[in-house]
Structure 1
Amino acid sequence: MEEERKQISIPIKTKIVAWLLIIIGAIEGTWGLMGVFSGGGGDFMAIFFVGIMLFIFGSLYFICGFFLLRGKRWAWWTSTVITGMLLVIATIPVVISMIAGGRITMEIYEFSIIPFITMILSPLFITPLLFLDRKKFWEIVS
């Protein structure tokens, strides 16, 4: 007896988010690997830490985007948690510079400016789209 696999039609906004996650995850992952292996100027440990963190979050974004296209619930939850974590982690250098009296060291500058697009701007686009189609996505996946 063959069971027919019915095709799950994911909402449009969720598809957009999934593709954004895949693209941004690939960019973050390669950007992180370049930071880890380049070891260019500046503080090596700061560049290495930012590179490893970008690679990990980029890989998770890529995986979540792929499984979000497949209609997995855990991918939706994981992508919202990762997006929230990125927003919190991206604000750490700002808080540190405020505590330091407005002085920004080179490490804080590298941490806050270089991954600005992928760590701050991408969650600002991804989060609203994820939450706008939340009910439709849960109805379809259930």
Structure 2
Amino acid sequence: MPPLGYMGNILEVDLTSGEIRTSELTRELADRWIGGTGLGAHLLAQEPATATADPLSPENTLIFGTGPFTGTAVPLSNRFGVCARSPLTGVFGEAECGGHWANNLKQAGYDLLVLRGKAPKPVYLWAHDDGVEIRDAGHIWG
């Protein structure tokens, strides 16, 4: 059973290899590191390459995280956090964002999206009822 307020899934995408996998968001992790930014900060600290990576390099992991109220009627619950090594400071950075994206990630069955690596060409993620795909974005690239 997923932690209360969460879907219980972390979507991990390696853009370099094209590997997509889902890992479990445990109750222990969700209770200790509350919300998208808390979970994102913890997961980012577990990424050994990110600690010394150039912030603009493919080794800088990018984590998008939602909280337990995302997708509910609670005011401002449409927020999500983005965590990575900051190009401005060279250390941990985070941003809070709003809109429909956080709700869409939750409705797709995920609490966090972890992006690693760099795709060899422009791509986008396509989430649908049967899973998640990395698709060629050449037809929409400027």
> What TM-score do you get using the length of structure 2 for normalisation?
0.28
Find the structure with the greater CA-based Rg: 1
- The structure where strand makes up a greater share of residues is 2
Instruction: Specify which structure has the bigger relative contact order, considering alpha-carbon pairs within 8 angstroms and separated by 6 or more residues.
Output: 1
> What TM-score do you get using the length of structure 1 for normalisation?
0.28
